Amino acid sequence: MTERLMLEDLDLSLGKRTRLHRLLYEHGPGNGTLLLLPIDQGLEHGPIDFFPNPPSAHPDYQCRLAKEGNYSGIVFHIGLATKYMREYAGTVPLILKLNGKTNIPSDAEAFSAQESSVEDAVRLGADAVGYTLYVGSPSQTLDFVQFGKVRAECERYGMPLIVWSYPRGSAVEAKGGHNSIYAVDYAARVANELGADIVKLNVPKFKDPGNTDSPAPYRQLYEEWKALDEDEAFRLAVEKVITSAGRTMVLFSGGSRISNEDLLQKARICMACGATGLIFGRNMWQRRFEEGLEITQRIKEILEADVTVLRRILFGEGPILD
Amino acid sequence: MTERLMLEDLDLSLGKRTRLHRLLYEHGPGNGTLLLLPIDQGLEHGPIDFFPNPPSAHPDYQCRLAKEGNYSGIVFHIGLATKYMREYAGTVPLILKLNGKTNIPSDAEAFSAQESSVEDAVRLGADAVGYTLYVGSPSQTLDFVQFGKVRAECERYGMPLIVWSYPRGSAVEAKGGHNSIYAVDYAARVANELGADIVKLNVPKFKDPGNTDSPAPYRQLYEEWKALDEDEAFRLAVEKVITSAGRTMVLFSGGSRISNEDLLQKARICMACGATGLIFGRNMWQRRFEEGLEITQRIKEILEADVTVLRRILFGEGPILD
Amino acid sequence: MTERLMLEDLDLSLGKRTRLHRLLYEHGPGNGTLLLLPIDQGLEHGPIDFFPNPPSAHPDYQCRLAKEGNYSGIVFHIGLATKYMREYAGTVPLILKLNGKTNIPSDAEAFSAQESSVEDAVRLGADAVGYTLYVGSPSQTLDFVQFGKVRAECERYGMPLIVWSYPRGSAVEAKGGHNSIYAVDYAARVANELGADIVKLNVPKFKDPGNTDSPAPYRQLYEEWKALDEDEAFRLAVEKVITSAGRTMVLFSGGSRISNEDLLQKARICMACGATGLIFGRNMWQRRFEEGLEITQRIKEILEADVTVLRRILFGEGPILD
Amino acid sequence: MTERLMLEDLDLSLGKRTRLHRLLYEHGPGNGTLLLLPIDQGLEHGPIDFFPNPPSAHPDYQCRLAKEGNYSGIVFHIGLATKYMREYAGTVPLILKLNGKTNIPSDAEAFSAQESSVEDAVRLGADAVGYTLYVGSPSQTLDFVQFGKVRAECERYGMPLIVWSYPRGSAVEAKGGHNSIYAVDYAARVANELGADIVKLNVPKFKDPGNTDSPAPYRQLYEEWKALDEDEAFRLAVEKVITSAGRTMVLFSGGSRISNEDLLQKARICMACGATGLIFGRNMWQRRFEEGLEITQRIKEILEADVTVLRRILFGEGPILD
Amino acid sequence: MTERLMLEDLDLSLGKRTRLHRLLYEHGPGNGTLLLLPIDQGLEHGPIDFFPNPPSAHPDYQCRLAKEGNYSGIVFHIGLATKYMREYAGTVPLILKLNGKTNIPSDAEAFSAQESSVEDAVRLGADAVGYTLYVGSPSQTLDFVQFGKVRAECERYGMPLIVWSYPRGSAVEAKGGHNSIYAVDYAARVANELGADIVKLNVPKFKDPGNTDSPAPYRQLYEEWKALDEDEAFRLAVEKVITSAGRTMVLFSGGSRISNEDLLQKARICMACGATGLIFGRNMWQRRFEEGLEITQRIKEILEADVTVLRRILFGEGPILD
pLDDT in tens, A150-198: 999 999 999 999 999 999 999 999 999 999 999 999 999 999 999 999 9
Do the Cβ atoms of A202 and A265 come closer than 8 Å? no
Which residues 6+ apart lie within 8 Å of D49 measured at CB?
A: D41, D42, D56, D282, D286
Do the Cβ atoms of C191 and C199 come closer than 8 Å? yes
Interfacial residues of B (vs D; Cβ cutoff 8 Å): 10-11, 135-138, 140-145, 147-148, 151-152, 167, 169, 171-172, 175, 182-183, 185-186, 188-196, 215, 217-218, 243-244, 246-248
Which residues 6+ apart lie within 8 Å of E311 measured at CB?
A: E1, E272, E317, E318
Interfacial residues of E (vs B; Cβ cutoff 8 Å): 11, 13-14
What confidence score (pLDDT) does residue D209 get? 67
**Nearest-by-CA chain A residue for C14:** A11
Please indicate whether, in this complex, the C-beta atoms of D14 and E82 are within 8 angstroms of each other.
yes
Give pLDDT tens digits for D274-300.
Answer: 999 999 999 999 999 999 999 999 999
Minimal CA–CA distance to D295: which of D245, D248, D257? D257
Which residues 6+ apart lie within 8 Å of E261 measured at CB?
A: none
Percentages helix, strand, coil for chain A (3-state, rounded to 5) are: 50, 15, 35
Please indicate whether, in this complex, the C-beta atoms of E13 and B13 are within 8 angstroms of each other.
yes
Give pLDDT tens digits for C122-167.
Answer: 999 999 999 999 999 999 999 999 999 999 999 999 999 999 999 9
Minimal CA–CA distance to C38: which of C256, C192, C262? C256
Please indicate whether, in this complex, the C-beta atoms of B11 and E11 are within 8 angstroms of each other.
no
Please indicate whether, in this complex, the C-beta atoms of B117 and A148 are within 8 angstroms of each other.
yes
Distance (Å, whole) CA E264 – CA B224: 71
Q: Cβ contacts (< 8 Å) between C80 and chain E: which residues?
A: 192-193, 246
Burial of D32 (0-12, 13-18, 19+ CB in 10 A): buried
**Nearest-by-CA chain C residue for B93:** C18
Q: Cβ contacts (< 8 Å) between D158 and chain E: which residues?
A: 122-125
Query: Using 50, 70 and 90 to split pLDDT, how confident is the model at B212?
Result: confident
Q: Cβ contacts (< 8 Å) between C158 and chain B: which residues?
A: 122-125
Determine which of A72-81, D11-20, D207-216, D279-288 has the lowest per-residue pLDDT on average.
Answer: D207-216
What confidence score (pLDDT) does residue D257 get? 86
Please indicate whether, in this complex, the C-beta atoms of E124 and D15 are within 8 angstroms of each other.
yes
Per-residue pLDDT for D2 more than 80? no
Q: Is the dihedral of CA E28, E33, E37, E38 positive or negative?
A: positive
Q: Cβ contacts (< 8 Å) between B80 and chain A: which residues?
A: 192-193, 246
Strand A99-100 and strand B198-201: pairing? Answer: unpaired
Please indicate whether, in this complex, the C-beta atoms of E193 and C117 are within 8 angstroms of each other.
no
Determine which of A225-234, A259-268, B129-138, E93-102 has the lowest per-residue pLDDT on average.
Answer: A225-234
Give pLDDT tens digits for B307-321.
Answer: 999 999 898 876 655
Minimal CA–CA distance to C145: which of C115, C167, C113, C122? C113
Quote the crossing angle between the two packed helices E140-157 and E181-194, to the nearest 10°.
40
Known catalytic residues of A are 166, 200
Distance (Å, whole) CA D30 – CA E33: 24
Q: Cβ contacts (< 8 Å) between E188 and chain C: which residues?
A: 47
Please indicate whether, in this complex, the C-beta atoms of B124 and C18 are within 8 angstroms of each other.
yes
Give pLDDT tens digits for B239-261.
Answer: 999 999 999 999 999 888 899 99
Substitution target in C6, C8, C16, C17 with the highest count of B β-carbons within 10 Å is C17
Minimal CA–CA distance to C287: which of C278, C277, C298? C298
Please indicate whether, in this complex, the C-beta atoms of B113 and A142 are within 8 angstroms of each other.
yes
Do the Cβ atoms of D103 and D44 come closer than 8 Å? yes
Substitution target in E8, E12, E14 with the highest count of D β-carbons within 10 Å is E14
Average pLDDT across chain C, whole number? 94
Beta bridge partners of B75: B38, B95
Substitution target in C10, C11, C153, C155 with the highest count of A β-carbons within 10 Å is C11
Neighbours of chain A (3+ CB pairs under 8 A): B, C
Distance (Å, whole) CA C257 – CA C260: 9
Do the Cβ atoms of B178 and B166 come closer than 8 Å? yes
Minimal CA–CA distance to A162: which of A120, A119, A203, A132? A132
**Nearest-by-CA chain A residue for C13:** A13
**How many CB pairs lie under 8 A apart between chains B and D?**
113
Please state the φ and ψ torsions of residue A220, each to the nearest 5 degrees.
Answer: -65, -40
Minimal CA–CA distance to B207: which of B175, B170, B186, B235? B235
Question: Could you say which of C83, C102, C142 has the minimum Cβ distance to residue E190?
Answer: C102
Q: Is D166 a catalytic residue?
A: yes
Q: Give B13→chain E minimum CA distance, Å.
A: 7
Beta bridge partners of B36: B73, B279
- In Å, how far are A33, A263, B176, C171 from A30, measured between CA atoms? 7, 21, 60, 52
For the segment C21-26, the average pLDDT, to the nearest whole number, is 98
Minimal CA–CA distance to B242: which of A286, D57, E190? D57
Chain length of chain D? 322
Strand B99-100 and strand B113-114: pairing? Answer: antiparallel
Give pLDDT tens digits for D187-226.
Answer: 999 999 999 999 999 999 887 766 778 899 999 988 898 8
Do the Cβ atoms of B287 and B294 come closer than 8 Å? no
Please indicate whether, in this complex, the C-beta atoms of D43 and B167 are within 8 angstroms of each other.
no
Please indicate whether, in this complex, the C-beta atoms of B116 and A148 are within 8 angstroms of each other.
yes
Minimal CA–CA distance to B256: which of B61, B37, B5, B49? B49
Please indicate whether, in this complex, the C-beta atoms of B11 and E14 are within 8 angstroms of each other.
yes
Query: Using 50, 70 and 90 to split pLDDT, how confident is the model at C206?
Result: confident
Query: Using 50, 70 and 90 to split pLDDT, how confident is the model at C320?
Result: low
Beta-carbon count within 10 A of A232 CB: 15
Per-residue pLDDT for A322 more than 80? no
Please state the φ and ψ torsions of residue D106, each to the nearest 5 degrees.
Answer: -60, 150
Q: Give B19→chain C minimum CA distance, Å.
A: 6
Per-residue pLDDT for B32 more than 80? yes
Neighbours of chain D (3+ CB pairs under 8 A): B, E
Please indicate whether, in this complex, the C-beta atoms of B124 and C157 are within 8 angstroms of each other.
no
Give pLDDT tens digits for B147-166.
Answer: 999 999 999 999 999 999 99
Q: Cβ contacts (< 8 Å) between C157 and chain B: which residues?
A: 119, 122-123
Which residues 6+ apart lie within 8 Å of A242 measured at CB?
A: A2, A188, A250, A273, A274, A275
Minimal CA–CA distance to D176: which of D143, D222, D128, D126? D222
More confident residue, D231 or C200: C200
Question: Could you say which of D83, D115, D120 has the minimum Cβ distance to residue B144?
Answer: D115
**Nearest-by-CA chain C residue for E149:** C115
**Nearest-by-CA chain C residue for B83:** C14
Which among B200, B205, B240, B300 is annotated as catalytic?
Answer: B200
Do the Cβ atoms of A128 and A24 come closer than 8 Å? no
Per-residue pLDDT for D146 more than 90? yes
Per-residue pLDDT for A321 more than 90? no
What confidence score (pLDDT) does residue B322 get? 47
More confident residue, D195 or A211: D195
Name the percent of chain C lying above pLDDT 90: 87
For residue C307, give the 3-state DSSP assignment. Answer: helix
**Nearest-by-CA chain E residue for D27:** E26
Strand E128-135 and strand D99-100: pairing? Answer: unpaired
Give pLDDT tens digits for E56-74.
Answer: 999 999 999 999 999 999 9
The letter for the amino acid at D221 is: L
Q: Cβ contacts (< 8 Å) between E14 and chain B: which residues?
A: 11
Q: Give B92→chain E minimum CA distance, Å.
A: 29
Quote the crossing angle between the two packed helices E307-315 and E260-272, to the nearest 10°.
120
Q: Which helix (H) or strand (E) holds E250?
A: strand E249-253
Strand C113-114 and strand B277-279: pairing? Answer: unpaired
Q: Cβ contacts (< 8 Å) between E157 and chain B: which residues?
A: none
DSSP C4: P
Question: Could you say which of E14, E91, E122 has the minimum Cβ distance to residue D15?
Answer: E122
Beta bridge partners of E36: E73, E279
Question: Could you say which of D46, D83, D105 has the minimum Cβ distance to residue B169?
Answer: D105
Beta-carbon count within 10 A of E224 CB: 11
Q: Give B8→chain A minimum CA distance, Å.
A: 35
Distance (Å, whole) CA E159 – CA E23: 12
Please indicate whether, in this complex, the C-beta atoms of E11 and C78 are within 8 angstroms of each other.
no
Those residues of chain E that have pLDDT short of 70 are 1-2, 209-210, 318-322
Please indicate whether, in this complex, the C-beta atoms of B248 and D79 are within 8 angstroms of each other.
yes
**Nearest-by-CA chain D residue for B10:** D83
**Nearest-by-CA chain B residue for A241:** B47
